[in-house]
Amino acid sequence: MPFRVLVPCAAVALALSGAAAQADPGYYVVSAYDNAGQRTVDFRYWTVKTPGSPATLWPEVGIGYGVNSRWYTELFASYIGDWDAGMQLSSWNWQNEVLLTQGQWPVDVALHASLIQLHGYEHGWAIEYGPVLQTDLWRTQVNFNAFFEREFIDGEPAEPTELKYQWQVKQRWKPWLAFGLQGFGELGPWNRWAPRSEQSHRAGPALFGSLPIGRQTLIYQAAILKGRVYGGNATMFSMRVQLAF
């Protein structure tokens, strides 16, 4: 879940139509699960399209590993651009999830933490952290996460600590196909939320599934989200494909 406060101004303008942004307008719902010993090759891709502007694209590629039954870690590179100008590296990201419970409570709890090095800024970096909550109601999985983010330049905070959220409801049907809803939002500074007109809130339908490929498993998800991104209307598409082995 990387940050883009310092991405090239042109790309930000395309994505947000000139609105001031404190964070990326999209990413993926973090889940709490045990995948000890599992290795993954991870490809993520999402877009932001505002009326009258070209879509801005964020492809990401990485590798992940389930260190043990409680700790998952992933290193990935994130790019930004559009179809005309091409892609350029935006950040390096080290993402971690640590399970604090494993079924002994009605709601499983994990801790999410990411360290982001902002490309093009030798001393620019960011952190993201917060609780991950997940529960199951028969065949329905429900997630809610609240994350804090802070950016630094030359060791000094560049912006106030921001608060954002993500949620997901997934109805299991078959291993290869599940249906659900996802939602994301950015509220502004954690202790002094931005005016409603400047906040981001978006939601939409999502599909999930996994397919065996020999000894490997292909895990996928995709969603179309509509709503507001930093004060402006926007449509988002997100996709994630993992090859697990």
CATH number, domain with residue 138: 2.40.160.40
Q: 170 falls in which pLDDT band (50, 70, 90)? A: very high
For residues 89 and 152, what is the distance between their CA atoms, to the nearest angstrom?
19
CA atoms within 13 A on the CB side of 62: 22
Residue 209 pairs in a beta bridge with 220
The answer to whether residue 3 is domain-embedded is no
Based on the structure, what is the number of domains in the chain? Answer: 1
111 and 95 Cβ atoms separated by less than 8 Å: no
Q: 33 falls in which pLDDT band (50, 70, 90)? A: confident
CA atoms within 13 A on the CB side of 120: 13
Residue 46 pairs in a beta bridge with 58, 238
| pLDDT tens per residue across span 171-217 | 999 999 999 999 999 999 999 999 999 999 999 999 999 999 999 99
| pLDDT tens per residue across span 71-112 | 999 999 999 998 888 899 999 999 999 999 988 899 999 999
Structure confidence at residue 122 (pLDDT): 63
Structure confidence at residue 10 (pLDDT): 32
- Average pLDDT estimate for 43-53: 92
220 and 208 Cβ atoms separated by less than 8 Å: yes
Q: Which string of DSSP letters, residue by residue, matches 111-164?
A: EEEEEEEETT-TTEEEEEEEEEEEEEETTEEEEEEEEEEEEEETTEE-SPPEEE
Structure confidence at residue 19 (pLDDT): 32
Q: 232 falls in which pLDDT band (50, 70, 90)? A: confident
Q: Whole-prediction pTM value?
A: 0.86
For residues 245 and 242, what is the distance between their CA atoms, to the nearest angstrom?
10
Domain residue limits at 40: 9-244
The answer to whether residue 218 is domain-embedded is yes
Token pair 């490929």 in the structure block, residue: 213
91 and 117 Cβ atoms separated by less than 8 Å: yes
Does residue 24 have a pLDDT over 80? no
